[in-house]
Chain A
Amino acid sequence: MTKRQRIVVVGHGMVGHRFAQAAVERGLTETHDVLVLGEEPRAAYDRVALTSWFAHADGDGGSDALSLLPGGEYDDPRVRLVLDSVVTEVDRAARTVTVVSPPSAVGSRDGRQNALLDQQGVPGAVTVHEYDVLVLATGAAPFVPPVEGRGKDGCFVYRTIEDLEAIQAASAAATSGVVIGGGLLGLEAANALVQLGLDTHVVEMAPRLMPVQLDDGAGSTLVRHIERLGVTVHTGVVTEAIEGGSSVTGLRVRQAGTDEGAPTQVVDAQVVVFSAGIRPRDALARECDLEVAPRGGVLVDEQCRTADPHVFAIGECAAPGGTMYGLVAPGYAMAEVVVDALLDGPGTFTGADMSTKLKLLGVDVASFGDAFATTDGSLELTYADAVAGVYKKLVVSEDGSRLLGGILVGDASAYGVLRPMVSSGLALPDNPEQLILPVGTGAGIQLGMPDEAQVCSCNDVTKADILHAVTDQGCESVGDVKQCTRAGSTCGSCVATVKNIIEDHFASVGRVVDKGICEHFRLTRQALFDVVAVHGYRRFDDIVAAHGTGRGCDVCKPAIASILASQTSTHILEPATAELQDTNDKYLGNIQRNGTYSVVPRIPGGEITPDKLIVIGEVAKDYGLYTKITGGQRIDLFGARMEQLPAIWRRLVDAGFESGHAYGKSLRTVKSCVGSTWCRFGVQDSVGLAIALELRYRGLRSPHKLKGGVSGCARECAEARGKDFGVIATEKGWNLYVGGNGGATPAHARLLAGDLDTATLVSYLDRFLMYYVRTADRLQRTSTWIEQLDGGLDRVREVVVDDSLGLGAELEAEMARHVGGYEDEWRATLEDPTKLERFVSFVNAPDTPDPSIAFTTERDQIQPIAPALIPVGAPA
């Protein structure tokens, strides 16, 4: 057996992380150990979305949300990540790297240093690691031009979370800020300054914004959008000096193309952010005599291998064929290529699609293919609407048969269709202008895309890959496909295209995927919800008469029952809705395999008195029920015959219990740890909050079951992030996480907002839950709902936290109506003889129990005996 090989990865940015992920997924860790050395104090995070850090509340919440490895370690123990590790030297002869963990890391920032101490001994110590394979993924550094005064206080770059923290701190005392550089990253930085409340300027040397991606028409359209947001754009100017004493007071600029001594102008600013491009961090390679490209970057071949066969370079620090790529997608591709090479695969990196689509300060911008019409004989088709702020340009081949590239500003919805047309060489239609004319003609845009067309350029996923995931791997939704192929999981720009491909496929095989929930309604659940709300319907008959066909089924009837329950707080067994309910709701219990039901009284937050425990025990004993503790911190009683349910519940209700809604698509439990009341580590009363939340949202009918959790400190003993909504105590209040679940496809909840006081927490939760109840598909958990929302978690945050739709008060009022209208379903049932009528074994023999139900005993409790299956198809 061959000895295990050691891979050392220098750098834990997005690309280093992707390498580690790919190594695990593709089985490289079966033969190789991977040591990843990260220089920053944090594990890899999403630098592409860096600006969204500001949108989160203060504290480390934003960093958590950006993290690509929230737990800080890989599931595969053969991949080890060590942070705060600066590689100072590579010895290629000895095949070692020398690591220093800087003393500055000691005792600072957060508790992670303790982990570092555990792993590495004394910080500041020098460690030497041997390697068989070295992968350089050191990224790039911001380029700061040699401008006079660039070292003053108030000058920053825009690359790491630490940079953002510093900019945020400096902005507190500032009124205006300026960004040097009007490229993609510069505009992101400007966005950040606007969010920090600064009077914001952008200074760009070129005559237009984003000179690499946009032409003049697109650039000026973008300027109009951005100036409308209050950002002052200065194009065609160069920076002469940073003014001020020890701190910045302004920026002196003059027109580009004029000589020194020409008239200058001063832009007042107390914050200056340099965003004038990036340079590969290739110093390690230079020092160990590896060749670098003329414009920087470790020179590597098509397998990303340097001249030393043991050393690879990937991402922004690498220059395959002499060119460095400052985007994440090519970096990901390089990471995959190296893993492939180490598995003796044939993969090569031969250049990348530099297409870009993003939302800058709320404006859609896309540039793809030959955007500047550099191809011989190419022609341009342009559409511009200065009023709407839309600019679109297509570059087509001389004969008009093929699309070569294009630029979109203000409306990039066509990007998902257009960009694959470039890479696939698909023939253009006869009237290509239709592709960029305003919507209305948009229906014609859905062209047949060839299977080899690349749909997700970030993760190199083709249409064929997506179809394969759908046809052979059981994927049914965008969420499934994302998980399976990674399509749409990085920048998200192709999500709409992915969705179309899935829907087109299902339509082509005759499967009803359309928006309709079943054959009776060609409406989505969300549309049904709105229809019911607008018309004030209360009866299925009225809804199906006006908006459907037939007499309904086990899909639409429970869905409508749930919608009616969400909107009206009427008892679900009222005559108008009783027969719409799924069997669990119809009998207020969970049906089990032999036709008996389980009984689950609510135990809010998992807190219960000894007296109540005894009642549950006595009831179980008297009715011979099997008892088991549930995952939601309550007790399940199994084996109740349907006709026994009222008597059992009478006992429980009399003892002060109420329905636990274990049978409903509704709130189940809010699980808690014991919190600050008892726990020596707890910082807030998690049990108290869990009880309050469970009582607030009990009985809320929702598209799927809902679970919550509250942990009293960051140790997270309540596993709150495995719930649809999870609350974790902080020193200052509560962090709110949403979209988690266990089950077949576990999902970790992600941070919605941090350090909230209890009142704000509750209002955000009210809004979140009601928004979900209103807009999710049937049987869609919160995680997939968020995933499929256009804009994902950011969209949820806009609606819930920023109240961008102005719906906040309405959603809260709906929740208040629910809370006010709550009654215990079982108590109300017991008090209404007509509701009790259904709880009989046989309508003509109410005293005869179902003879097919029988039990045996196992481990001192009952167990069902499987009913004998009758021979099917034959008359009995």
Chain B
Amino acid sequence: MSTVAVALTPVCAVSAVPLEGGVAALVSGEAVAVFRTHSGEVFALSNVDPFSGASVLSRGIVGSRGDAPVVSSPMYKQAFDLRTGACLDDETVSVPSYDVSVVDGVVHVGSVRPVGEVT
């Protein structure tokens, strides 16, 4: 992949992200939503809901659709796959997803991943 490597930004303790919930973080001036699923996996998507333009995705409900871990937008309820950012209710829409890792109990957010690439 030709993604330019960006340094991972430490954001917060993983314990600060509620289980099956999200928080918003500011990474290089961009609002990023960081989520933690029930199994403890951490994901990061753009915080901006593409349907309303509001920076709110971190406030959505985290759950599952089929096998996919999802967040549903608090604005109009579309579900987004936490792994890819793909909107499951409108295949033409997706939100940027970010590399994310947990190092020593701290969540680090990296660069935007190319569309469609799964962790």
Smallest CB separation, B77 vs chain A (Å): 5
Chain B residues within an 8 Å CB radius of A558? 61
> Do residues A870 and B70 form an inter-chain contact, with CB atoms below 8 A?
no
- Once bound together, how far apart are the Cα atoms of A557 and B21, in whole Å? 12
Complex CA–CA separation, A180 to B75 (angstroms): 66
Q: Does A583 contact B (CB under 8 A)?
A: yes
With A551-B69, A876-B46 in contact, do A852 and B63 touch (Cβ < 8 Å)?
no
Partner of B54, one of A520, A551, A557, A852: A852
Contact of A519 among B31, B38, B65 (CB under 8 A): B65
Given contacts A554-B77, A582-B74, A850-B31, contact A875 B96 (CB under 8 A): yes
Specify which of A580, A845, A875, A876 is in contact with B61 (CB 8 Å cutoff).
Answer: A580
Bin the interface of chain A by size. 35 or more
Q: Are B24 and A870 in contact (CB under 8 A)?
A: no
> B63 and A551: CB pair below 8 A?
yes
Given known A-B contacts A582-B74, A873-B92, A876-B46, A595 and B54 have beta carbons under 8 A apart: yes
In the complex, the answer to whether A844 meets B12 with C-beta atoms within 8 Å is: yes
Measured in the bound complex, the distance between the Cα atoms of B34 and A869 in whole Å is 21
| Complex CA–CA separation, A593 to B56 (angstroms) | 10
Q: How far is the CA of A54 from the CA of B23 in the complex (A)?
A: 60
List CB contacts (< 8 Å) of B38-76 with chain A. Answer: 38, 46, 48, 50, 52-56, 59-66, 69-70, 72, 74-75
B80-119: contact bitstring with A at CB < 8 Å (1 yes, 0 no)? 0000000000001111100000000000000011110000
A872 touches B63 (CB 8 A): no
Using an 8 Å CB-CB cutoff, how does the interface string of A389-410 with B read, 1 for contact, 0 for none? 0000000000000000000000
Q: Looking at the complex, which one of B25, B53, B61, B94 makes contact with A579 (CB distance below 8 Å)?
A: B61
A854–chain B nearest beta-carbon distance, Å: 11
Q: Is the interface of A mostly helix, strand, loop or mixed?
A: loop
Note all chain B residues with C-beta closer than 8 A to A554.
60-61, 63, 72, 77, 79
- Most B Cβ at <10 Å: residue of A580, A593, A842, A866: A842
Contact B21 A869 (CB under 8 A): no
Provide the residues of chain B in CB contact with A851, threshold 8 Å: 29, 31
- Whether A106 sits at the interface, judged by CB under 8 Å, is no
Check A841–B24 contact: CB distance below 8 A. Answer: yes
A553 contacts B65, C-beta separation under 8 Å: yes
With a CB–CB cut-off of 8 A, which chain A residues contact B24?
Answer: 841-843, 850
Chain A 468-496 near chain B by CB (<8 Å), digits 1 or 0: 00000000000000000000000000000
The answer, yes or no, to whether A546 is at the interface (CB within 8 Å) is no
User: How many residues on B have C-beta within 8 angstroms of the other chain's C-beta atoms?
Assistant: 51
Closest CB of chain B to A5's CB: distance in Å?
A: 50
Which of B11, B61, B69, B79 meets A582, CB within 8 Å? B61
| Pair A550/B64 contact, Cβ less than 8 Å | yes
Nearest Cβ in chain A — how far from B71, in angstroms? Answer: 9
The answer to whether A843 touches B12 (Cβ under 8 A) is yes
The answer to whether B63 and A550 have CB atoms under 8 Å apart is yes
> Would B55 and A867 count as touching, CB distance under 8 A?
yes
Please name all residues of chain A whose beta carbon is closer than 8 Å to the beta carbon of B17 when the two chains form the complex.
Answer: 843
Interface hits, A449-465 → B, CB 8 Å? none
Given A579-B20, A850-B31, A875-B115, verify A843-B11 contact (CB < 8 Å): yes
- Given contacts A551-B69, A579-B21, A875-B112, whether A557 and B59 have CB atoms under 8 Å apart is no
Chain B proximity mask over A539-575: 1 for CB below 8 Å, otherwise 0: 0010000000011111011100000000000000000
- Kindly state whether residue A159 has any CB partner on chain B within 8 Å: no
Query: Complex: how many Å from CA A703 to CA B29?
Result: 40
Could you tell me which B residues sit within 8 Å of A by CB distance? 10-12, 16-21, 23-26, 29-31, 34, 37-38, 46, 48, 50, 52-56, 59-66, 69-70, 72, 74-75, 77, 79, 92-96, 112-115
Given contacts A553-B63, A848-B26, 10 further A-B contacts (CB under 8 A): A550-B64, A551-B62, A591-B75, A843-B23, A843-B34, A844-B12, A873-B93, A875-B96, A875-B113, A875-B115
Give 29 CB contacts A-B under 8 Å.
A520-B64, A551-B37, A551-B62, A551-B63, A551-B69, A554-B79, A557-B63, A579-B19, A582-B74, A583-B59, A583-B74, A591-B59, A591-B74, A595-B52, A642-B59, A842-B26, A843-B11, A843-B23, A843-B34, A844-B10, A844-B25, A845-B26, A850-B55, A852-B54, A853-B55, A872-B50, A872-B92, A873-B92, A876-B30
